[in-house]
Amino acid sequence: MSTSGFVLPVSLALRLLTSAAPASQSPAAAPHAPQVPGVSSPAPAKPSATPAIAGGKGLSAARQATAGRLMEPALKEGHAYARLAELTDGVGPRLSGSESAEAAVQWALRSFKADGVKAWKEPVKVPRWVRGEEHGEIVASERTRGLPLSLLALGGSAPTPPEGLTAEVVEVGSLEELTALGERARGKIVFFNHAMAEAADYGRFAGLRSRGPAAAAKQGAVAALVRSLSTASLRTPHTGATRFDEGDTRLPAAAVSVEDAHTLHRMLQGGAVKVRLVLGCSELPEADSSNVVAEIRGREKPDEVVLLGAHLDSWDVGTGAHDDGAGVVMVMEAARLIAKLPQAPRRTVRVVLFMNEENGLRGGRAYAQAHAKELPKHVAALEMDSGGGRPLGVSLHAGPGGEDLLRPWLAPLEGVDAATFMVGHATGADLSPMEPAHVPFVGVRVDSSRYFDVHHSMADTLDKVDPQELARSTAAVTWVAYALAEEPGVLARPTAPEPDAPPPAKK
């Protein structure tokens, strides 16, 4: 259904019209307010009016008025949250190649049409992996009765035999430890354990999930278990992609909950442990799918493009609210609000909803290939894929002078506490195929320290997204997109990849 027909509950509308912090809730039930490590959270806000749209030195009256036209509706109307409810509760989980992923494509096209924004599909061939049956248990022994495991198969996992498999477990904490096991891994289930505690740890340990099972197969293992990459758990497993290159032996692989990882670790200290694992995964023929592309054509330089990206697919567990429904509705709302201005910005604003970010990055690669001749005219690209938390500031990956160029445009972001430049990466997985074309990347950084509480799990649902925080980040994205499209000058193109950028297949 279109957002124009979605009625926002009065209680939610009132929340969006104030900047008061939500009432205190238990950690399990509260909408998360993600925080970037090293950045302290502000004190709880006192009830007040919607944040003012600041003017600021150097910003003309006309630009101040435009900031109001763009940011105030994003803050007050609740349109982004209502649209997120449509996507998550209406379409649901959207693993690429599935019927619900195609339903999401059609939903996006209808939504752009309702907004008066021109949109179309661009073809993408995607993998079609299906989860199937999944369960496991620690086998009863002289030391313990049998214990069930809370687990999710990893995307790309091979199935077990229909009757399952049972084998002894060996624990490692790194790929180097796995290599050191040598023949001791043969015939075993390799258990990759780690100590992820905060969002910054994700990059340290993600390789255990993405590369560990394939490495275990090369050592002769029969299956792999990986501790979930999570910053919180109520025995909630978190899935994600694992990668087997062409010619690799594929083996069954699953993520176990943090609590079950602790149990396995403790029990292994006392002696041998066996696990029985049943996974009914299947790999079907590749499917035809689509990126969804929409744009507002620039009034003076329509061939110069400011790209706003997010990924439309999600995992098949939860409903992909933070990952990446929040990013999808932010960039869609930016397009809707910019399209309503009496005058289009100088340059074209193009939104791309990528398909298959989670388990293949096919959409990002397909866009970069199809638009290769245009990429030299892509003057900036911005991807939203870190959840729906509050905005913190702006990051850049561009040539010299980027901050000086954009600094005069930051003043309106003071009203949402994001009028600052931040050190750190500005790229995203779906933008990474554009790096060889030296496209400047701009990030609207959001508070994502609690993002991995629910990331890739059954808990990634609408209730975890705070509507006020989503509205603030939407307002920030909208204004930054307009600034990039309207600024007379352009960012200098970078000459090298970001040194601390996440790996292309970050998921």
Write down the pLDDT at residue 214.
97
From first CA to last CA, the distance across the chain in angstroms is 29
Residue 476 confidence (pLDDT) above 90: yes
Quote the pLDDT of residue 310.
Answer: 98
Mean pLDDT of all residues in 244-273 = 96
Which residues belong to the active site?
357
CA pair distance 58, 65, nearest whole angstrom: 14
| Separation in Å, CA 464 to CA 85, 318, 490 | 12, 11, 37
Using one digit for the tens of pLDDT, what is the confidence trace for 18-29? 333 333 333 333
- Asked if residue 355 lies in contact with residue 124, where contact means CB atoms within 8 angstroms, the answer is yes
The string of pLDDT tens digits covering residues 276-298 is 999 999 999 999 999 999 999 99
Sheet holding 151-153, edge to edge: 147-149, 134-138, 274-279, 165-172, 189-192, 223-227, 253-256, 151-153
Q: 3-state SS of the chain: helix, strand, coil percent to 5?
A: 35, 20, 45
Of residues 55 and 139, the one with the higher pLDDT is 139
A 10 A CB-CB count for 275 gives 25
How far, in Å, CA of 504 to CA of 507, rounded? 9
Both tokens of 183, joined, read 């023949």
Cα dihedral angle (328, 330, 334, 337), rounded to 10 degrees? Answer: 110
Model confidence at 31, pLDDT cuts 50, 70, 90, reads very low
Dihedral sign computed on CA atoms, order 491, 387, 432, 200: positive
Retrieve residue 261's tokens: 């990882």
Rounded mean pLDDT of 77-97? 98
pLDDT of 469 strictly over 90: yes
pLDDT at 144: 85
E strand or H helix that includes residue 71? helix 61-76
Q: Are 34 and 456 in contact (CB under 8 A)?
A: no
Distance CA 180, CA 171 (A): 12
pLDDT digits over 35-75, tens only?
333 333 333 333 334 455 554 456 899 999 999 999 999 99
Query: What is the residue-averaged pLDDT of the chain?
Result: 89
- The mean pLDDT of 448-458, rounded to a whole number, is 97
Please report the pLDDT score of residue 3 as a whole number. Answer: 40
- The Cα-based distances of 266 to 133, 259, 273, 501 in angstroms read 27, 11, 10, 35
Quote the pTM value.
0.89
Q: Can you give the C-alpha Rg of the chain in angstroms? A: 23
DSSP H helices, 142-198, are: 175-181
Rounded distance, CA 388 to CA 401, Å? 29
- For 277-306, b/e burial (b = at least 16 CB within 10 A) is bbbbbeeeeebebbbbbbbbebeebeebbb
Beta strands in 219-346 (DSSP E): 223-227, 253-256, 274-279, 282-296, 301-311
Peptide bond into 460 cis (omega under 30): no
For the stretch 220-237, pLDDT in tens is 999 999 999 999 999 999
358-403: pLDDT as tens digits: 999 999 999 999 999 999 999 999 999 999 999 999 999 999 999 9
Average pLDDT over residues 196-214: 96
Question: Quick one: how many helices (H) and strands (E) in the chain?
Answer: 12, 15
What pLDDT, on the 0 to 100 scale, is given for residue 39?
30
Mean pLDDT for the stretch of residues 162-168: 97
